[in-house]
Amino acid sequence: MKSQPEADHPLGKKEIMNDTTKQLIGTVVSNKMSDTVTVKIDSVRTSRLYRKKYTVSKKINADCKDRKYEIGDIVSIVSICPISKTKSFKVTGKVK
């Protein structure tokens, strides 16, 4: 069963986000590379044995063409196809 194109969209299609796309929020920790920022993602996990909460951090290199993000900015990033060996995320915007 095919869906009809929507009249509201200029091209007559809907934008559908892929199910495998990840969207994360993190803090910029480095902007020294050209077209790249390093974003630190923090997540809280709970120990199965002791039920104690602890923080796990991960640093991700993200692509950004404009150099408007400074250290300490909270940004939103989304996964894309790999651009290089370490870059597979793109900055979508500044949260705060």
Q: What is the pTM of this model?
A: 0.74
Confidence of residue 53 (pLDDT cuts 50, 70, 90): very high
Confidence of residue 14 (pLDDT cuts 50, 70, 90): very low
pLDDT of residue 30: 96
Check whether 4 has a pLDDT greater than 80: no
DSSP state of 22: -
Residue ranges per domain, the chain?
28-94
CATH superfamily of 28-94: Nucleic acid-binding proteins (2.40.50.140)
HSE of 30, CA atoms in CB hemisphere, 13 A:
9
* First-residue to last-residue Cα distance in the chain: 43
